[in-house]
Amino acid sequence: MKRILFFPILVFFSYVQTIAQSDTASYGVIKNMPVFYEQLKHQLTYPMAWGNSPIQDFEEWRMKAREVLIECMQNLAPAPKSFEMKIIDTEPRDGYEARKIEWNVSEWCRIPAYLLVPEGEGPFPAIVMLHDHGAHFSIGKEKMVRPFHVHPEVLADADDWAMRCYDSQYTGDYFAANGYVVLAIDALFWGERGRKEGVNYDGQQAIASNFLQMGSSWGAFINMDDVRSTEFLSSLPFVDKEKVGCLGFSMGAYRSWMLSALTDCVKASASICWMNTTDCLMSLTNNQNKGGSAYSMIIPNLRRYLDYPHTASIACPKPTLFFNGTQDKLFPVEGVKDAYATMQSVWRSQNAADCLVTKIWDEKHFFNKEMQKETLDFFNRWFHRLNKE
């Protein structure tokens, strides 16, 4: 019996080896991509993009483009009837107070968050701080605001992450020390909104699949939580609702420009190390084609209408900043330049070229202190201009 079974097994492995050595045209998939991926990309004509759409009035176009974006984000949680903020804990810091709060981000979810409030009467300018992905799920909001009254392991984790990605400076605390109210939440799957069973990288693919099975998307839920965060922040009595911005690095950058596109509660945005084109990212060598982190930033069917820079352009003519790095392996420079050129043409078309900052740094995937200072200066400049207007 063993000899009878052994021969077919040898034949099977010989067949597999022959297939492996044959021309790649005999495959259906190569490096996680369908072999016809170029043909798929060529079908993406982005008919809703400004300049491609038949709509000639820009304000009409941006409202319609936003409608299309939201239409692709269907079956979302209803907005909360009230935010019902509760302060859980506080810590005084140099020039501001750190607060641990809870509030209703939707009818379905009550979440923890950090809120930093400067000393004084206000009203103050404010920033929604949007954390990165980093394949690091044990912390979320703690990447942006230094945690307090937590287990030593959580603080050590946060300090290490601040060193790895933010030049050992918490951007939330940096902005609060310079007079901004700061709000930071956990995106779903991170920190205190993570898996009950514990951190698991592959779990993000499972949750994304399960959202899709129920007619929704994980990415859309993350984006809509960010919209509710902005609405909540704008509602606080010590916040100047005409000076509310958003800022993020990496996935947080994607969340930032998406947030500015989705709501005009955001008056200015800054996105560090996340902008490119689908054509450049959907290649055999880019990290995007591995899935994984990409699941948290996918809105189903949106590419049938708008590419990344087209979607970001819904925010025009608002003050908007983009930084990318020459050494950033996740976002090839040629794609960055193409995306920047697309957005620049949109802002120019509305006589708002000075409202768009696009800069490529000699830097890797990293948000260094000099970049943070320029970003703070960007918000200061535009919010100061609002005072004069």
Does residue 290 or residue 106 have the better pLDDT? 106
Three-state DSSP class for residue 110: strand
Residue 109 has pLDDT above 60, yes or no: yes
State the number of CA atoms in the 13 A half-sphere of 268 facing the CB.
Answer: 24
Summarize the confidence of residues 139-150 as an average pLDDT: 98
Is the separation of the CB atoms in 131 and 225 below 8 Å? Answer: no
pLDDT at 13: 42
pLDDT of residue 5 exceeding 60, the answer is no
DSSP string covering 233-267, please? HHHSTTEEEEEEEEEEETHHHHHHHHHHHH-TT--
pLDDT band at 101 (very low <50, low <70, confident <90, very high): very high
Share of the chain above pLDDT 90, in %: 88
Output the pLDDT for position 25: 58
- Give the pLDDT of residue 285: 87
Instruction: Output the CA angle 247-185-213, nearest 5 degrees.
Output: 100
Q: What percent of the chain lies above the pLDDT cut of 70?
A: 93
What average pLDDT does the segment 261-271 reach? 98
Please determine, for residue 210, whether its predicted confidence score (pLDDT) is greater than 60. yes
Q: Calculate mean pLDDT across residues 179-206.
A: 96
In terms of Cα–Cα distance, which of 103, 65, 70, 59 is closest to 230? 103
At 368-382, the pLDDT tens digits run 999 999 999 999 999
Which 8-state DSSP code applies to residue 77? P
> What does pLDDT average to over the chain?
93
Higher pLDDT: 290 or 253? It is: 253
The encoded tokens of residue 263 equal 């709501």
Answer whether 265's CB lies under 8 Å from 231's CB.
Answer: yes
Res. 389 pLDDT band, cuts 50 70 90: low
Which of 184, 187, 203 lies closest to 195 in space, CA to CA? 203
Answer yes or no: is pLDDT of 235 > 60. yes
**pLDDT band for position 23 (50/70/90)?**
low
Please give the CATH topology (third level) of the domain spanning 47-388: Rossmann fold (3.40.50)
* 59 contacts: CB under 8 Å, gap ≥ 6: none
Which stretch of 122-131, 145-154, 283-292 has the lowest confidence by average pLDDT? 283-292
Res 83 pLDDT > 90: yes
For residues 59-83, give the mean pLDDT: 97
Q: Which residues are within 8 A (CB) of 247 and not within 5 positions of it... i.e. 6 or more apart?
A: 127, 128, 129, 130, 171, 175, 256, 269, 270, 271, 272, 375, 379
Phi-psi region of 274 (alpha: psi -120 to 50; beta: other; left: phi over 0): beta
The closest of 98, 230, 255 to 173, measured between CA atoms, is: 98
Backbone φ, ψ for residue 88 (5° rounding): -95, -40
In this predicted structure, the answer to whether residue 2 has a pLDDT above a threshold of 90 is no
pLDDT at 386 (0 to 100):
75
Say if strands 96-104 and 110-118 run parallel, antiparallel, or are unpaired: antiparallel
Please determine, for residue 284, whether its predicted confidence score (pLDDT) is greater than 80. yes
User: What pLDDT band is residue 21 in, cutting at 50, 70 and 90?
Assistant: very low
Strand bridging mode 239-249 / 124-130: parallel
Q: How confident is the model at residue 292 (pLDDT cuts 50, 70, 90)?
A: confident
Residue 247's CB is within 10 A of a number of other CB atoms, namely 31
